[in-house]
Amino acid sequence: MNLTRALDVALPEIPARTLSQRPSRLDPKATFREHVEDGARVVRVYIPSSGYMFKLAPAQWALAQLFDGTRSYSEIAELYSQQTGEFYDEQAISEFSSELESAGLNRRASGTARRKKRMFSCCCRAKKSGARI
Domain of residue 83, residue span: 22-129
Does residue 15 fall inside a structural domain?
A: no
Of 120 and 36, the one with more pLDDT: 36
Residue 127 has pLDDT above 60, yes or no: no
By CB atoms closer than 10 A (0-12, 13-18, 19+), residue 37 is exposed
Of 107 and 21, the one with more pLDDT: 107
For 24-82, the pLDDT digits (tens) are: 888 888 899 999 999 999 999 998 888 889 999 999 999 999 998 889 999 999 999 99
Does residue 1 fall inside a structural domain?
A: no
Does residue 10 fall inside a structural domain?
A: no
pLDDT, position 131: 47
If residue 44 lies in a helix (H) or strand (E), which one and from where to where? strand 40-47
Residue 111 has pLDDT above 80, yes or no: no
Does residue 117 fall inside a structural domain?
A: yes
Nearest to 66 by CA among 98, 101, 105, 26: 26
pLDDT, position 15: 58
Looking up residue 110, the CATH number of its domain turns out to be 3.90.930
Does residue 93 fall inside a structural domain?
A: yes
Structural domains of the chain, count: 1
**CB distance 64 to 53 below 8 Å:** no
| Calpha distance 63→120 (Å, rounded) | 35
| Calpha distance 65→81 (Å, rounded) | 14
For 85-108, the pLDDT digits (tens) are: 989 899 999 899 888 888 888 877
**CB distance 64 to 100 below 8 Å:** yes
Does residue 7 fall inside a structural domain?
A: no
- Predicted model pTM: 0.65
